Each structure stands twice: as structure tokens, then as C-alpha cells.
Amino acid sequence: MTEKYQILDKKIHLSRREFVRLAAAGSIVVLGEGCDTVSQAFTPSSAQMAQLAGDAWVDLKKQQPTTNDSRYTSRVNRVAPRIIQAAGGSPAEWEVAVFASDDLNAFALPGGKIGFYTGLLDIMENDAQIATVMGHEVAHVFFNHAGQRYGRTAATQAGLGVAQAVIGDGSQGSQLALGALGVGAQYGVILPFSRQHELEADKYGVRYMKQAGYDMNEALRFWERMSSSKSGQPPEFMSTHPSDATRMAALKQEIALLGG
């Protein structure tokens, strides 16, 4: 077990003892939507998630070729500093890479890593649409959604009585963390957080766009285009993502609130 996992597992192990004590006293209920307070005890910090994400980033760059083609890199490098600053971060502390793939993918990882795929950039009509996705992904990082997802998963497993198996085995603990990051076997576009996290990332993503000087209405145009290209989407209650209708309605409301 590496040091980074020792740090993470130690936090969870200590939290688990406290969890067991409180559960025995009848002070908490584990499962269901009311488990947010419990899951907070299991939630790693942004710094701890960044340690995990660092290795995932290195591995991904080994597995998936990047490109230095200025047709792509110049675009993301124009947008990234503006969005990061709008979110309250320092561009110097972030790394941006473009992966040579036709996949419609993009992501951001704790610790300041942003990845865009050439396939997604090929269908983006302007910098504001790049800012739409980048703002959304950066919001996931700044709100530590990956850590919150890890915490909820760990709390649920503790409630099912199997947390010790996860915590006691470094490799399984690592997989849980990487799953929360959304960087397991597949690196999907807009990581699979909860519907609440997705809507929060949308909300702050357009706020970052406005702060950075981009046309927020391009967010609507981009999502409408993405929506029209999809088929066979599951019902909202079966998905970790909000339905397109819910997402669009929330975006329109936020953009109107911001004067867009």
C-alpha cells in the first residue's frame, strides 16, 4: 500500500470507528438520502483526492496518446486560464492536456488536471462552448464532488457491513477512490456524479463563464446539440445525470438570474 492510500485509508478507518460508536448508540441511520451527515465523516479532503488523481492522470497519459497539435491545444489553452481564474484558482497550478481520440470526452481531476479529447473539440463551434464543459468540470473539482461521492459510497458500504473488506485491502480501497474520480476502466465525458452534483456543476459552470466573459447562452446551444445527438437515454430516476429537460430548464433559470 502506498503512502497516499495509507493517508486516505487512515482517515476512513478512524471515521469508521466513530461511525460504529454512533451507530451502536442509535444516533445515526446509514442508508437512504438521509446519510449525508454520515458520509461526510468518510469524505476525503480535496488534497487527499488530488493525491489519488495524480497517479490516475499519469496512467491515463501513458495509455492514451496526447497531441501537441496547435489546432486543439491553442483553443483549450486560451480558455483554461480564464475559467480557472473565474473559479478562484491559479492557472499556474493546473495542467491541461488534449488526448488524440475521436471520443466525445472531457474531464477535470482533483489536483488541477484538465483533459479534453480531440473528438469533442471537433464539434465545439467556439471558445464559449469549450468554456461550457470546462467550467462544468472545474466546478466538480472545486466542490470536491469526487470526494463526496467516495464518502457516500464508503458510508453505504459501512452500513452494509462490508467496509472493513474495502478498508483493509489497499487495492480495493484504491479502486473505490478511482471509481469516485470517474477514472477507472473508462474515462467518460462529464464524470458520473449524482444528479445533484451535475446540476451544481452546471450552475457554477455558467457562473464561471460569465465571470470569464463568455456568452452563457452558448452553454444552452452546446447542451441542445449534445441532447439531439443522443438516443436511448434512460429515465432520469435511473441515471446519475439529470434528464436533458431538467438540465436545460435549470441552465435557463440560472442564465436568466445572471442576466444572460
Count CB-CB contacts under 10 A for residue 115: 23
**Per 3-state DSSP, what percentage of the chain is helix, strand, and coil (rounded to 5)?**
65, 5, 25
Q: Does residue 180 register a pLDDT over 60?
A: no
Decide: 81 and 64 in contact? Cβ < 8 Å: no
Q: How confident is the model at residue 54 (pLDDT cuts 50, 70, 90)?
A: confident
* Lowest-pLDDT choice from 26-35, 69-78, 132-141, 185-194: 26-35
pLDDT score of 175: 52
236 is catalytic: no
Q: How confident is the model at residue 153 (pLDDT cuts 50, 70, 90)?
A: low
Dihedral of the alpha carbons of 239, 244, 250, 254, in degrees to the nearest 10: 120
Q: Does residue 10 register a pLDDT over 50?
A: no
Q: Does residue 251 register a pLDDT over 50?
A: yes
Of 48, 34, 35, the residue nearest 4 (C-alpha): 48
Q: Does residue 7 register a pLDDT over 70?
A: no
What's the predicted TM-score (pTM) here?
A: 0.71
Q: Does residue 19 register a pLDDT over 60?
A: no
Rounded distance between C-alpha atoms, residue 84 and residue 122, angstroms? 22
pLDDT score of 189: 34
Q: How confident is the model at residue 145 (pLDDT cuts 50, 70, 90)?
A: confident
Cβ-based neighbours of 50, under 8 Å, separated by 6 or more: 109, 110, 111, 112
Mean pLDDT value of segment 245-260: 92
- 188 or 165, which is more confident? 165
Q: How confident is the model at residue 127 (pLDDT cuts 50, 70, 90)?
A: very high
Catalytic residue among 33, 125, 137, 254: 137
Mean pLDDT value of segment 182-211: 71
H helix intervals, 68-126: 70-86, 118-123
Rounded distance between C-alpha atoms, residue 34 and residue 44, angstroms? 19
Decide: 61 and 97 in contact? Cβ < 8 Å: yes
* Lowest-pLDDT choice from 126-130, 184-188, 192-196, 211-215: 184-188
Q: How confident is the model at residue 235 (pLDDT cuts 50, 70, 90)?
A: low
**Bridge pairing between strands 106-109 and 95-99:** unpaired
- 71 or 184, which is more confident? 71
- 53 or 236, which is more confident? 53
Q: How confident is the model at residue 163 (pLDDT cuts 50, 70, 90)?
A: very low
pLDDT score of 52: 74
Cβ-based neighbours of 164, under 8 Å, separated by 6 or more: 16
pLDDT score of 226: 83
Q: How confident is the model at residue 136 (pLDDT cuts 50, 70, 90)?
A: very high
Rounded distance between C-alpha atoms, residue 141 and residue 201, angstroms? 9
Rounded distance between C-alpha atoms, residue 222 and residue 171, angstroms? 39
Domain extent listing, the chain:
3-257
